[in-house]
Amino acid sequence: MIDVDPYPECSDPGVGYCAYFDSAGAVETVALHVSRTCSGNAGCLDADAPATRDAILAFDGVFFRGGDQSLYVQHWADSELERAVFDVHAAGGVVGGTSAGAMIQSPVTSIGDATSFEATADPYHPRIELSDSLFGGQMALLPPTSLDTHFTPRARLGRLMVLLGRWAEDRGEDLLAIGIDQETAVTVEPDGIATVHGQGAVSFVQATPESERTFVPVPSRPEHLVLA
């Protein structure tokens, strides 16, 4: 279908993305490496190239592997890849992902790595960072939401609640937060109905008219200092 080397992990037995989708009945599964820093690397597609958009539009679905969501935002925001994925979704195609690949599908993505302990101790911790530059605005795949993964095992409820509060405080917008456990999935139909699948839980968190929030910045601490 396209002339590009598959991303190596696709056929890795320890990862098995391609094998899984092939076993589920996919006619053809191809793994692509898309970046803004290909620099002529074999098998790498330029995220900003029209040819990359054409390649993605040839498929009926897109699945994002795990990794570092901040890198996805850095390399894919406002790119031909982003526009192509949005068009696949708008045409009725399926868009999915795992771990960081799931988190980036929400209009607001947590790209910081603060823990719940750090976030609840300091709601302005420097490692709390939210972005709406990838799949946000008119390119949104979901209603106003923020997704988090590995939710219960990594005790991320506290962090998620702080992120909701920070977004409301800074942007004046309320979000629906969705925390997804491992070995668990949530599917969202075009009518907005969500269904949970798998062995774990999916947590839905949203402010109500009775909700209260008070953010108090903590005094500067050594780890907050930036030396230039």
Per-residue pLDDT of 12-27, as tens digits, reads 655 667 778 888 888 8
- The confidence score (pLDDT) of residue 206 equals 92
Contact criterion met (CB below 8 Å) for 112 and 84: no
Q: What is the pTM for the complete model shown?
A: 0.86
Helix axes 80-90, 50-57, angle to 10 degrees: 20
pLDDT at 178 over 80: yes
Is 131 or 228 the better-scoring residue by pLDDT? 131
pLDDT at 60 over 90: yes
Vertex 54: Cα angle to 18 and 66 (nearest 5): 35
Distance of CA 30 to the CA centre of its chain: 20
Per-residue pLDDT of 208-224, as tens digits, reads 889 888 877 777 655 54
Rounded to an integer, the average pLDDT of 83-89 is 97
Per-residue pLDDT of 114-159, as tens digits, reads 999 999 999 889 899 999 999 999 899 999 999 999 999 999 999 9
pLDDT at 62 over 70: yes
- The confidence score (pLDDT) of residue 216 equals 77
- The confidence score (pLDDT) of residue 7 equals 54
- The confidence score (pLDDT) of residue 19 equals 78
| Alpha carbon separation from 171 to 39, 110, 125, 130, 138 (Å, rounded) | 37, 15, 17, 11, 17
- The confidence score (pLDDT) of residue 24 equals 83
Cα–Cα distance for residue pair 113/98, rounded to 1 Å: 17
Is 22 or 227 the better-scoring residue by pLDDT? 22
**Reported confidence tier of residue 44, pLDDT bands at 50, 70, 90:** confident
